[in-house]
Structure 1
């Protein structure tokens, strides 16, 4: 018979699993909150399905479980945070707090994160900021997954964009959260796990040919949302998250769907407006 868990019970279970894999208590706690929140809003690709993956990254050294984020450069309305190769969520929590504090003081704030990792549902931090009356935009680059127009080799990540806008009191904020591929790689992974074919037009195989085989697609590339336009927007996100932070380009980061590989050194960017 299926068992039902409360949110707090799930957070405890996830935190325990991550701590057992090597994450310090605060990293485990913040990551657990983010993954359970992702599951709760229906983004299963950024929810509980990531627990085993993150634990493997911690055990294999792809993520440093002892890392603690620190501010390494700042001006009144701008700050750069080094995630220290740890899971992204402690750095994202610091970015959210710094973005809000500086935006309320300066009117606008830009926060960059470097040496980071997979950052889950980017709509979550912008939604929290919007509920507190701020406009927020968030970006992250990711391991190369999409070719540029006419290309056969993955060069750009799916590079999600999220935005949150407050509404009148008593109303939920308006939140937009989307990857710049036709579909997110996490969605492809769920199809692969179930052995279900993916729709045509979602992905290419390793030779640049269209495929409906989800497992083949994971080792190929994804089709950019809107073709050339989507690839161009992905390049904009790549530059915001890399050129301004010193993080690694997506093509320098090993993919997330293999437990082995390098520390991805990804970047995130958060723009907050009061």
Structure 2
């Protein structure tokens, strides 16, 4: 049976998420902030990292694996750098704090790098790269994924995660250029949403341990994700994991806890965010005008047969955001049923 989506206004979704968090003891301020970031993920089309993850977060809170009102602590700090201990708090709150600190420092130092440890899953990478871009800065965000789904190139033991990166650059007349990608061909959130919707995966996302294509998302545990570009993607995942994990004293390799299967153990998730103030290199207005020019050059360049247009990173994000802002966020019937059950269990008003 087709899984027809219900269109839910963004504000309604945000309010629902906040109700669920408050019911678990989260303060009003934290619940509103976390809900805003999670609903933003759905608004921009990152369906595998938005409200879809809410039941998983609630399970972890109820099992004692996440502190809903964690206190953040600055472990190390210099003029242009800082290391934040998230106290096992919700990753969205930890990384919002880290990103705000990075931007504050970058206004003085030109560029700032803030790392975080003892955090948790924080949603899509673009949430945090886009924040500096809104302030005439360039944002860069990298994280250690919250479960290992990929072996080192040529191996079979899953020691690496999707370890995503996002880079955001502002423009004047066009949407910001926002690269948001995993170091695997597909993010694991896409595997989970495909399973919930009863869909199959394209060949090339995963293989089993015999090297054969794996297209049934319900059998994901029998195989692993493939890196982008073969050994190049493996190399990126390794380096990103070291910079976001090992450097910060966060989990990497065999230390990574699979938060999909374990709701009790502290994950010690690591991230870092970089904010680069454009004024340290160029006039922001001129830089953003140059980005508009680059945008136009790419869009107007000759196309290969079969391509109706050339797209830039962030273009679809902007289109989806506008569409969902006007018409609502599509929630598949299967997901809506899960969320309504969650609401009933928590004693809050459903969507």
Is the pair's TM-score, using the shorter chain for normalization, greater than 0.5? yes
1:253 to 253, 256, 267: 256
Contact 1:189 1:218 in 2 (8 A): no
Distance 1:150 1:32 in 2: 40
**Bigger relative contact order (CA 8 A; separation at least 6):** 2
Q: TM-score, normalised by structure 2?
A: 0.73
CA contact (8 A) 1:147 1:154 kept: yes
Is the aligned partner of 1:176 residue 2:182? no
Contact 1:158/1:180 (<8 A) preserved: yes
Q: Is residue 267 of structure 1 aligned with residue 270 of structure 2?
A: yes
Which of the residues 49, 53, 76 maps onto 2:52? 49
CA offset digits 1:17-76 (Å, max 9, x no partner): 122234333332222111110000011001110111111111112211131222121000
CA distance in 1, matches of 2:18, 2:193: 23
Partner of 2:291: none
Change (3 A) 1:260 1:97: closer
Partner of 2:171: 167
Matched residues in 1 for 2:186 and 2:6: separation? Answer: 31
CA RMSD of aligned residues (A): 1.9
Distance 1:136 1:54, change over 3 A: same
Map residues 70-219 of structure 1 onto 2, 5 A cutoff.
70-142=73-145, 143-168=147-172, 170-205=173-208, 209-218=212-221
TM-score (normalised: structure 1): 0.93
In structure 2, the partner of 1:9 is 12
Instruction: Tell me, yes or no, if the aligned pair for 1:10 and 1:36 is still in contact at 8 Å.
Output: yes
Output the CA distance in 1 between the equivalents of 2:263 and 2:89.
16
Cα displacement (A) at 1:9: 2.5
Once structures 1 and 2 are overlaid, which stretch shifts more, 128-137 or 20-29? 20-29
DSSP 3-state at the match of 2:71:
coil
Whole-Å Cα distance in 2 between the matches of residues 259 and 37 of structure 1? 26
Given that 1:115 and 1:265 are in contact with CA atoms closer than 8 Å, whether structure 2 keeps it comes out as yes
CA displacement 1:162-192 (0-9 Å, x = unmatched): 0011213x44321110111110100001111
Higher share in helix? 2
Other structure's SS at 1:38 match: helix
Structure 1 alignment gaps of length 5 or more:
none
Supply the distance in 1 between the matched residues of 2:36 and 2:150 (Cα, whole angstroms). Answer: 30
Separation in structure 2 between the aligned mates of residue 26 and residue 58 of structure 1, nearest angstrom: 17
- How far off its partner does 1:217 sit? 1.2
Matches within 5 A, 1:216-235: 216-218=219-221, 220-235=223-238
Q: Is the 8 A contact 1:68 1:90 kept in 2?
A: no
